[in-house]
Amino acid sequence: MKFLFLGDVVGRAGRRAVADRLPGLIDQHKFDFVVINGENASHGRGITETHYEALRAAGADVVTLGDHAFDQREIMTAIERHDTLLRPINFAPGAPGRGSAFVVGRNGHQVLVINLLGRVFMPPMDDPFRAVEAAVAACPLGEQADAIIVDFHAEATSEMQAMGHFLDGRVTLVVGTHTHIPTADERILSGGTALMSDAGMCGDYNSVIGMEPEEPLNRFLTGLPSARFTPAEGEGTLSGIAVETDPATGLAARISAFRVGGMLAPALPSF
């Protein structure tokens, strides 16, 4: 199977890029499954139910979140209605929603998607390593699952890479989100798991991680806030990673960085 993972959707620019480009890219590249991180889809912080539904309509099979999962208060009840809207699995017990989903893709592939939150430079959370190990053990690759995709929403690339090695040979893809900057380290580990430290963002890169530069710059220069951060609204880039699996194992056979539109140099899979 072939699937696409897209990094954090940031504001209107990110949503517009997904809506305008993703349906055609799915047809062009014959993607069987699409996961999108919607962490910053609504005004740059969290996601509303309407914006979740728009990402789904554009072609997302699953939408993942992160540390801003509940910044839009309405989602705390809406998330209970949607099995394909995930918050990190290692949130404290009792948090609304779910952290993993077992979903049938376009061509009948059975895919387990797991959303995790890192702990380095992040708010206190339960151990992501133990949480993901339990989820993978309950639905092993090559038995129940044809592919397992792990979105590790984390700040530190060291923690992201450690998670890749921890899960190597047991999942198809470990991909980082949160920093909004696409890394150039996509590769297949020795056990067959694809790893990319950060997928980047879907948004306007003529910005400071998706925000208009004026207020971030002001805070760096003065140390004081003077206004809210405002998402930049220029042409957005879709950023992420494309993976083709080995049908015999569900592990990664081929990978490619994925960038379309906006300011960044394009990158498209050849498979």
Evaluate whether 219 touches 229 at the Cβ level (below 8 Å): no
Query: 98 to each of 124, 127, 270, how far by Cα in Å?
Result: 18, 16, 35
Query: 15 to each of 38, 152, 191, how far by Cα in Å?
Result: 9, 21, 35
Structure tokens at 270: 């050849």
Query: 198 to each of 152, 153, 155, how far by Cα in Å?
Result: 9, 9, 9
Instruction: Give the closest residue to 56 by CA, choosing from 74, 79, 36, 39.
Output: 36
Evaluate whether 84 touches 100 at the Cβ level (below 8 Å): no
Q: How many residues does the chain have?
A: 271
Three-state SS for 171?
A: coil
Q: Which of 68, 109, 153, 178 is the catalytic position?
A: 68
Evaluate whether 176 touches 156 at the Cβ level (below 8 Å): no
Evaluate whether 118 touches 155 at the Cβ level (below 8 Å): yes
68 is catalytic: yes
Catalytic residue ranges = 68
